Amino acid sequence: MKNAAIAHRSAILHSLGDPHTSGVENSYEYFEDGLLIIEQGIITHLGDASELLHRFPNIEVLQHHNKLIVPGFIDTHIHYPQTGVIASYGEQLLDWLENYTFPAEAAFSDEKHCDASAEFFLDELLKNGTTTALVFGTVHKSSVEAFFQAADKRHLRMIAGKVMMDRNAPENLTDTAHSSYVDSKELIQKYHGKNRLHYAVTPRFAPTSTPEQLQLAGKLLSEFDDLYLHTHLSENKKEIDWVAQLFPERKNYLDVYDHYDLLTPRSVFAHAIHLDDDECQRLAACQSSVAFCPTSNTFLGSGLFNLSKMQRHKVQVALGTDIGGGTSFSMLQTMQEAYKVCQLSGHQINPFKAFYLATLAGAQALKLTDKIGDLKVGTEADFVVLDLAATPLINYRMQRARSIEEQLFVLMILGDDRAIAETYSFGECVYQSNS
């Protein structure tokens, strides 16, 4: 790591809060000609280039022409072992799991496959500007070891966990309540809090865990500080009916998790499409978060996430790609799909809101705002250099954009991995496009 300070000069944008609560005008900070100064991986200054260069005339400056620097994207729900099932035809959730996903996950009993998949997955994340993700492994402990080791080698801030799954799945993919507890505990002791790594207790979803396993998941959360809880919730109608059959004594889907003490401020529930008011209120009361995964929800035909309802109930929402149910690693594409999903429900996501969901909201959901999610002084220098002329069409359209708001909208509608010029993690360049 470089010891001397380095300055990045570019247009720079970051979120200051949720546009829905603070008002759009107060929700961001934008420097048309900005300077971001970094020392030993930490942001030391952010401001107008002219003013900061006057104060630090001898600083080394990296100039980014026709670019926009934003915080690294945060993907709050993704499965690294499902990279190989992205774009699998024809099924909705439960058949998709059985026909595509479980066979692909079974291959992670092989450690070499885990290592190679983890490296490819991280390459894809970084090439899409995603610097932090909340990641599902498989039921195999070694899948998570491989992922953490690959992430640690690259000094990334990542959260992951071993799937806990002791029923209603193929035999070669099930653990037991006891073994899942022991394996998870060993992973926690080895990796949770190591460098930039964190552990998430990861029961797959209510139908694939016995009550005993869910109870042990809750026990793990009570035994260590700052663990995450990561699972799926209320994604698909058949899934919801199945949960009601399996847990008839619980009043709704969320109540299954609630009963086993799995609702904490560090709990992230993926999808949460078909929730009733009672479930929304409970999520808000527990300060738990939901991951809105729009490309997955449309691809698997799961339904339209109700962002307005979540806002009304003050539930923390962030964005997830849900690879391989989702169809793109790109958080720009995910913002585009979120916009379309909300259009179908009759309202528009402002580009600053979409951008907030992909950055600061992720850090809020993960309780990491002191470290990532914006470009405030004192936080870690995880950021992306977006190319405002990434393709001929983006360039053509961008020349007609009259404001940063419009530029942002063009990027989220037309952009994908081609719009990522460079990705930085802890001040170091970890991806650079060839063009």
Q: Collapse the DSSP code of 417 into the 3-class scheme (helix H, G, I; strand E, B; otherwise coil) and give the result.
A: helix
Which residues have CB under 8 Å from 65's CB, separation 6+? none
- Closer to ligand GUN by CB, 72 or 320: give it: 320
Task: For the CB of residue 163, give the shortest distance to Zn ion in the complex, in Å.
Answer: 10
Residue 49 partner contact from ligand GUN, Zn ion, none using kind-dependent CB cut-offs of 5 to 8 Å: none
Which tokens in the block code for residue 7?
Answer: 């300055």
Closest residue to ligand GUN in the complex (CB):
325
Phi, psi dihedrals of residue 84, rounded to the nearest 5°: -80, -5
Task: For the CB of residue 126, give the shortest distance to ligand GUN in the complex, in Å.
Answer: 23
Closest residue to Zn ion in the complex (CB):
322
Distance from C-alpha of 334 to C-alpha of 370, rounded to nearest angstrom: 25
Binding residues for Zn ion, per CB under 5 A?
270, 322
The answer to the question of residue 97 lying near ligand GUN (CB under 6 A) is: yes
Q: Collapse the DSSP code of 203 into the 3-class scheme (helix H, G, I; strand E, B; otherwise coil) and give the result.
A: strand
Nearest Cα to Cα of residue 53 among 35, 29, 30, 33 = 35
Q: Are 14 and 29 in contact (CB under 8 A)?
A: yes
> For residues 321-340, which are near ligand GUN according to CB under 6 A?
322, 325
Q: Are 420 and 64 in contact (CB under 8 A)?
A: no
Task: For the CB of residue 102, give the shortest distance to ligand GUN in the complex, in Å.
Answer: 9
Site of tokens 């309540």: 177
> For residues 210-249, which are near ligand GUN according to CB under 6 A?
232, 235
Nearest Cα to Cα of residue 269 among 248, 299, 243 = 243
- Closer to Zn ion by CB, 218 or 324: give it: 324
Task: For the CB of residue 317, give the shortest distance to ligand GUN in the complex, in Å.
Answer: 17
Provide the H-helix boundaries in 224-302.
237-246, 253-259, 277-285, 294-299
Task: For the CB of residue 162, give the shortest distance to Zn ion in the complex, in Å.
Answer: 15
The answer to the question of residue 93 lying near ligand GUN (CB under 6 A) is: yes
- Closer to ligand GUN by CB, 147 or 409: give it: 147
- Closer to ligand GUN by CB, 296 or 407: give it: 296
Residue 105 partner contact from ligand GUN, Zn ion, none using kind-dependent CB cut-offs of 5 to 8 Å: none
- Closer to ligand GUN by CB, 137 or 325: give it: 325
CB-CB neighbours of 178 under 10 Å: 12
Which residues have CB under 8 Å from 337's CB, separation 6+? 294, 295, 298
Residue 93 partner contact from Zn ion, ligand GUN, none using kind-dependent CB cut-offs of 5 to 8 Å: ligand GUN
Q: Are 334 and 73 in contact (CB under 8 A)?
A: no
Distance from C-alpha of 185 to C-alpha of 179, rounded to nearest angstrom: 10
The answer to the question of residue 101 lying near ligand GUN (CB under 6 A) is: yes
Candidates 93-101, 274-282, 366-374, 421-429; binding stretch for ligand GUN (CB under 6 A) = 93-101
Interface ranges with ligand GUN (CB under 6 A): 79, 93, 97, 101, 204-205, 232, 235, 296, 322, 325
